Amino acid sequence: MGENPTEDIAAFTDVIVEFGDETIYDGLSFTVKRGEFLCILGPSGCGKSTSLRLMGNLLEAQGGEVSIEGLPPERGWNKLAYVFQSPRLVPWRSALGNVLLGMELRFEKQSKWEREETARRLLNMVGLQNDMDKYPSMLSGGERQRVAIARALSVDPNIILMDEPFSALDLNTRWRMRSEIIRIWKETKKTVIFVTHDVDEALVLADRILLLSNKPTKALETIVLDQPRPRDIENSESLSAQKSKLISLFRQLEQTADLETV
Ligand SMILES: Nc1ncnc2c1ncn2[C@@H]1O[C@H](COP(=O)(O)OP(=O)(O)OP(=O)(O)O)[C@@H](O)[C@H]1O
Ligand SMILES: [Mg+2]
């Protein structure tokens, strides 16, 4: 695989997903560029998490094609790492031990010393240089999520999949984590695919927002954001206009979803 920066690192082509009688995706297509920060935005239940599960080979599509670095998910899954809404740490391992765990599974051949050096460097990058020996129960919600980010980075993935990673945090921590993830993304040059249902979050983070429709889900709209970061939505005319547009699209989606359930 080349290092061409314009190359698509992931692609969905006419993907169909069905659970029993219910069609979740009815031909979903989109691409992700190498190095991009893509936010996937959409109403609850439209299949945002499903798209990450397909990429991670945790779920198989009934039709169409999902590709990661040009490979089907069963061969491309090891180019990815996940950060979930809850950090899913092992309680009996320290922060350092948790980061090491993922590496022990994927990099059997590396020496213990090499793995530890990487884990320490990454915990340092996420701001936990003084908390490496703490157990998850001793860490705050934001700190636990930092461990999960370091763990994801530790397997040196090309793509980081984030599924509403900050939605369980308090407001201040959430804002702090958003600027942190931008710093880490710039520093590591990874591709980030970030699922959220928060319009503001998508607007401050993304290079591009992919808005999904209600089920059966299609890509409804793509919004390109080229404003420099850090972004202040209220003080930017273009961001405020994009926000109004997204909110009105969202309202329409919610109304049609309500009608369908009546
Ligand atoms: N294993 C499953 N069996 C049956 N239905 C499923 C299964 N997994 C997901 N679904 C359905 O598929 C749809 C999409 O689910 P998904 O979790 O991807 O939504 P989401 O967009 O991530 O929602 P949220 O914003 O609430 O997290 C939902 O209607 C859900 O009920
Ligand atoms: Mg979800």
- The answer to whether residue 143 is domain-embedded is yes
Ligand 1, residue 22: give the atom nearest the CA: 5
Please report, for residues 26, 45, 196, 199, 251, the alpha-carbon distance to residue 255 in angstroms, rounded to integers and kept in the order given.
20, 14, 19, 17, 6
- The answer to whether residue 78 is domain-embedded is yes
- The answer to whether residue 1 is domain-embedded is no
Tokens representing 17 are 């997903």
Question: What integer pLDDT is reported at residue 262 of this predicted model?
Answer: 55
Tokens representing 121 are 């460097």
Question: What integer pLDDT is reported at residue 66 of this predicted model?
Answer: 98
Residues with Cβ within 8 Å of 126's Cβ and at least 6 positions away in sequence, in order, are 146, 147, 149, 150, 180, 184
Alpha helices by DSSP H, listed for the chain, are: 48-55, 73-76, 95-106, 112-125, 141-154, 171-188, 199-205, 237-261
Ligand 1 atom 6: residue of nearest CA: 19
Confirm or reject: Cβ of 24 under 6 Å from ligand 1: yes
Ligand 1 atom 11: residue of nearest CA: 45
If you measure from the C-alpha of residue 51 to the centroid of ligand 1, how many angstroms do you get, rounded to a whole number?
10
Half-sphere exposure of 77 (CA within 13 A, CB side): 12
Question: What integer pLDDT is reported at residue 256 of this predicted model?
Answer: 80
- The answer to whether residue 124 is domain-embedded is yes
Question: What integer pLDDT is reported at residue 2 of this predicted model?
Answer: 47
Tell me the residue ranges of DSSP E strands in 6-58. 8-19, 22-33, 37-41
For tokens 């998910």, name the residue: 73
Please report, for residues 103, 123, 129, 229, the alpha-carbon distance to residue 99 in angstroms, rounded to integers and kept in the order given.
7, 8, 13, 29
Question: What integer pLDDT is reported at residue 108 of this predicted model?
Answer: 84
| Domain extent for 14 | 8-261
What does the pLDDT look like over 119-146, one tens digit per residue?
999 999 999 999 999 999 999 999 999 9
Question: What integer pLDDT is reported at residue 6 of this predicted model?
Answer: 53
If you measure from the C-alpha of residue 158 to the centroid of ligand 1, how many angstroms do you get, rounded to a whole number?
26
- The answer to whether residue 85 is domain-embedded is yes
Question: What integer pLDDT is reported at residue 1 of this predicted model?
Answer: 47
As to burial, measured by CB atoms within 10 angstroms (0-12 exposed, 13-18 middle, 19+ buried), residue 156 is middle
- The answer to whether residue 26 is domain-embedded is yes
Ligand in closest contact with the CA of 20: 1
- The answer to whether residue 60 is domain-embedded is yes
Ligand 1 atom 30: residue of nearest CA: 45
Confirm or reject: Cβ of 211 under 6 Å from ligand 1: no
What is the side-by-side strand order in the sheet with 22-33?
22-33, 8-19, 63-68
pTM of the model: 0.95
pLDDT band at 224 (very low <50, low <70, confident <90, very high): very high
Ligand 1 atom 3: residue of nearest CA: 19
What does the pLDDT look like over 55-98, one tens digit per residue?
999 999 999 999 999 999 999 999 999 999 999 999 999 999 99
What does the pLDDT look like over 248-261, one tens digit per residue?
998 888 888 777 66
Tokens representing 171 are 């407001």
Ligand 1 atom 26: residue of nearest CA: 44
- The answer to whether residue 3 is domain-embedded is no
Q: Which amino acid is at 176?
A: R
Ligand 1 atom 31: residue of nearest CA: 45
Average model confidence (pLDDT) for the chain?
94
| Domain count for the chain | 1
| 161 vs 106, more confident | 161
| Neighbouring residues of the ion ligand 2, judged by CB less than 5 Å | 49
Confirm or reject: Cβ of 214 under 6 Å from ligand 1: no
CATH code at 60?
A: 3.40.50.300
If you measure from the C-alpha of residue 38 to the centroid of ligand 1, how many angstroms do you get, rounded to a whole number?
20
**Percent over 90 (pLDDT), the chain:** 89
**Percent over 70 (pLDDT), the chain:** 96
What does the pLDDT look like over 163-187, one tens digit per residue?
999 999 999 999 999 999 999 999 9
Ligand 1, residue 42: give the atom nearest the CA: 21
* pLDDT reading at 3 higher than 70: no
